[in-house]
Amino acid sequence: MASLLGTYLRPYRAQIAVVLVLLLVQAMGNLYLPDLNGDIINNGVVKGDNDYIIRTGGLMLAVTAVLGLAAIVSVYLSARIAMGFGRDLRSAIFGKVETFSQVEVNHFGPASLITRNTNDVQQVQTVVLMALTIMISAPILIIGGIIMALRTDVPLSGLLLIVIPLMALVIALVMSRAIPLFRAVQVKIDRINQVMRETLSGIRVIRAFVRTDLEERRFDVASRDLFDTQLRVTRLFAITIPTMTLILSLSTVAVMWFGAARVDSGDLSIGNLTAFLQYLMQILFAVLTAVFMFILIPRAVVSSGRIREVLDAAPTIHDPAVAVVPDPAGGERGVVEFRNVSFGYPGAQEPVLHDVTFRAEPGRTTAIVGSTGSGKTTLINLIPRLYDATSGSILVDGVDVREMDREELWRRIGLIPQRAFLFSGTIATNLRFGDAAATDEELWHALEIAQGRDFVGEMEGGLEAPITQGGSNISGGQRQRLSIARAIVRKAPIYVFDDSFSALDFTTDARLREALGRELGGSTVIIVAQRVGTILHADQIIVMDAGRIVGRGTHRELLEANETYREIVFSQLSEAEARA
């Protein structure tokens, strides 16, 4: 946690210095007030000197006013520092996650990444705030109080040799038990978020299969598991606070008992006894408030470790030290080439792709077909480097994608993913993900190509019609058409359609393919399709089976020569339709 605090509190060093000065002023003032109180009793009350009482009392009021002002300013600055720290840390985590490949996202899990950027940051941020207001002032009050207590009466100060180590022992025992429990709490919060996220994402499936009760029980199990662990933590600290309070009360009784004997013998004045009691209360109260910090610190230590895991994670996919930019005069723009590419997911025993080689060129449509699990989507994911090939190479415009800056690579690709995802906002803001500078006319033109102009025109607001998160307020076919339009707005030399026509009816599909052929004639088009009708007129069809290319050619060539392709075609079309 120390390295995390050191890194992200560095911009606030000047403000922290001011807070430290203010806390020092408060500590010195609080240590000075008991001394003044003892002087009033010894030199004012006992001697009956009202003028001395008024003068010293006025000084105490002035010191108290300064302390109040210092407390207000220090708390304000502490809050600004803590909130700024939390903001910067959340931004750092988010920025780091943005650099992750799918490998790292799968490793941590989306639910855990959300927890780390919200709950875990909140735990560390709370400790920063409490540290600036309590933890720093507590040692000053403890050390200063001990010095002032010794200055007041050395023999009576011997009680501190028993009380302070006893409190330290209690705190150490609590810490040793609390850290493992807090680590378990954070893991179980991850589990709660995971179950909740799955339930919200799969609500339609849950209701369709009448599994609401099952999901409620699953959430209840996760919730009770978290409840039981948090209850153990609460019980631990429920014992701690009364124990510390008991030590504080017994210490006060002991001081009164032994102090009264010393006053009676004339070795200690009443004013000094009063001051000693106040110093003792300050010392023990500082220790007691520090206990609240020790309640928070174990959980913050666990949270900071989880945050550090994310920040220290090295992305498996990263930009090269010296990026290669394809030569625009090289004559190749939009060429995608796979050379002996194999790929296996991390931890998998068998590769998903084996020795895949093919070339997709501008002005030509390359279709990829195969049964479920044949590796089609995995193949497509290698082009924009969502994953990196295990062996072999993928070239875009003659340059290995691993040698290109990723943003430069992504600018050359218009990707329409298998699951058409839209962001909350409007239709226009979603389409301008493809090109932030696109005009309304360009957006309408892209919609016309994607066969979405009609339904967008009928929506209230047109391009400014609202879209909810994920596009849940429109149909699946409409989401796919908007996703296609978003890619067309990009005006990329390469378009990759990953089964992006599955929710379209046959008429819309046909019109869309005709418009794409007309408008994207100079671009490289790669289509992954389950529906054979979508790719009958492709210039090149790649047939995949178990991660290998088992056929390559046009529809008619494959229909005559490739058994795997024939099985796929005849499972969807009659022989007359297939040969038409």
Query: What is the DSSP secondary-structure string of 119-175?
Result: IIHHHHHHHHHHIIIIITHHHHHHHHHHHHHHHH-HHHHTTHHHHHHHHHHHHHHHH
Residues 248 and 360 in one domain: no
Residues 206 and 339 in one domain: no
Name the pairing type of β-strands 548-553 and 540-545: antiparallel
Residues 36 and 113 in one domain: yes
pLDDT at 45: 63
Residue 90 predicted with pLDDT over 90: yes
Strand-pairing partners, residue 494, are: 413, 524
Residue 443 predicted with pLDDT over 80: yes
Least Cα distance to 32 among 282, 286, 252 occurs for 282
> Do the beta carbons of residue 498 and residue 417 sit within 8 Å?
yes
pLDDT at 166: 84
Residue 327 predicted with pLDDT over 80: no
243 CB burial (10 A radius; 0-12, 13-18, 19+): middle
- Phi/psi of residue 233, nearest 5 degrees: -65, -45
**Sign for the pseudo-dihedral over CA of 213, 218, 222, 228:** positive
446 CB burial (10 A radius; 0-12, 13-18, 19+): buried
Separation of first and last alpha carbons in the chain: 69
pLDDT digits (tens, 9 = 90+) for 371-398: 888 888 889 989 988 888 889 999 998 8
**Is 317 part of a structural domain of the chain?**
no
> Do the beta carbons of residue 541 and residue 578 sit within 8 Å?
no
Residues 380 and 292 in one domain: no
Average of per-residue pLDDT across 553-557:
88
Residues 297 and 365 in one domain: no
**Is 324 part of a structural domain of the chain?**
no
Here the contacts of 326-332 (C-beta below 8 Å, separation 24 or greater) are: 326/396, 326/397, 326/398, 326/399, 326/404, 327/398, 330/397, 330/398, 332/397, 332/398
b/e map 44-59, b = 16+ CB within 10 Å: beeeeeeebbeebeee
Residues 77 and 200 in one domain: yes
- Phi/psi of residue 264, nearest 5 degrees: -65, -35
Residue 11 half-sphere exposure toward CB, CA atoms < 13 A: 11
Average of per-residue pLDDT across 542-564:
88
The domain boundary, picked from 312, 346, 370, lies at 312
pLDDT at 235: 84
Residues 457 and 503 in one domain: yes
Least Cα distance to 321 among 377, 404, 401 occurs for 404
Give SS3 for 335: coil
How many domains does one find in the chain? 2
**What is the number of other CB atoms lying within 10 angstroms of the CB of residue 155?**
11
Average of per-residue pLDDT across 64-74:
90
**Which H/E stretch holds residue 384?**
none
Rounded to whole angstroms, the Cα distance separating 32 from 29 reads 5
Residue 182 predicted with pLDDT over 80: no
**In this structure, what CATH number is given to the domain that contains residue 546?**
3.40.50.300
Residue 445 predicted with pLDDT over 80: yes
**In this structure, what CATH number is given to the domain that contains residue 187?**
1.20.1560.10
Residue with tokens 């009050």: 141
pLDDT digits (tens, 9 = 90+) for 458-495: 888 888 999 887 777 888 888 888 999 999 998 889 99
Find the range with the poorest average confidence among 5-19, 26-40, 372-386: 26-40
pLDDT digits (tens, 9 = 90+) for 489-518: 988 899 998 888 777 777 888 888 888 888
Residue 294 predicted with pLDDT over 80: no
Count, residues in the chain: 580
Where would I find the H helices in 490-535? 506-519
Residues 6 or more apart whose CB falls under 8 angstroms from that of 133 comprise 74, 75, 78
Residues 479 and 564 in one domain: yes
**Is 559 part of a structural domain of the chain?**
yes
**Is 91 part of a structural domain of the chain?**
yes
Name the pairing type of β-strands 425-426 and 413-416: unpaired
- Phi/psi of residue 338, nearest 5 degrees: -100, 130
**What phi-psi label fits residue 33: left (phi over 0), alpha (psi between -120 and 50 degrees) or beta?**
alpha
Residue 533: C-alpha distances to residues 52, 367, 488, 544 (Å): 103, 11, 22, 17
Read off the pLDDT band of 184 (50, 70, 90). Answer: confident
Cα 150 off chain centre by: 51
**Is 561 part of a structural domain of the chain?**
yes
pLDDT digits (tens, 9 = 90+) for 246-265: 887 888 888 888 888 877 77
Mean of per-residue pLDDT scores for the chain: 84
**Is 318 part of a structural domain of the chain?**
no
Residue 95 predicted with pLDDT over 70: yes
pLDDT digits (tens, 9 = 90+) for 161-174: 888 788 888 877 87
Name the pairing type of β-strands 336-343 and 391-396: antiparallel
pLDDT at 332: 67
Residues 223 and 340 in one domain: no
**Is 161 part of a structural domain of the chain?**
yes
Residue 239 predicted with pLDDT over 90: no
> Do the beta carbons of residue 360 and residue 366 sit within 8 Å?
yes
Residue 560 half-sphere exposure toward CB, CA atoms < 13 A: 4
Read off the pLDDT band of 519 (50, 70, 90). Answer: confident
Please give the share of the chain, as a percent, with pLDDT higher than 90.
12
Least Cα distance to 73 among 23, 140, 126 occurs for 23
550 versus 171: the higher-pLDDT residue is: 550
The domain boundary, picked from 312, 344, 369, lies at 312
Residues 123 and 195 in one domain: yes
pLDDT at 92: 92
The domain boundary, picked from 312, 346, 365, lies at 312
Read off the pLDDT band of 357 (50, 70, 90). Answer: very high
Residue 537 predicted with pLDDT over 80: yes
Residue 303 predicted with pLDDT over 90: no
Q: Which residues form the domain of 424?
A: 332-579
Residue 396 half-sphere exposure toward CB, CA atoms < 13 A: 26
Cα 386 off chain centre by: 19
241 versus 66: the higher-pLDDT residue is: 66
Residues 444 and 496 in one domain: yes
Residue 376: C-alpha distances to residues 370, 503, 546 (Å): 7, 18, 10
Q: Where does 389-504 show beta strands of DSSP type E? A: 391-396, 399-400, 413-416, 425-426, 466-467, 494-498
Residue 51 predicted with pLDDT over 80: no
Residues 306 and 430 in one domain: no
- Phi/psi of residue 507, nearest 5 degrees: -65, -45
pLDDT at 69: 92
Average of per-residue pLDDT across 24-37:
81
- Both tokens assigned to 10: 């560095």
> Do the beta carbons of residue 109 and residue 265 sit within 8 Å?
no
**Is 400 part of a structural domain of the chain?**
yes
Rounded to whole angstroms, the Cα distance separating 282 from 271 reads 17
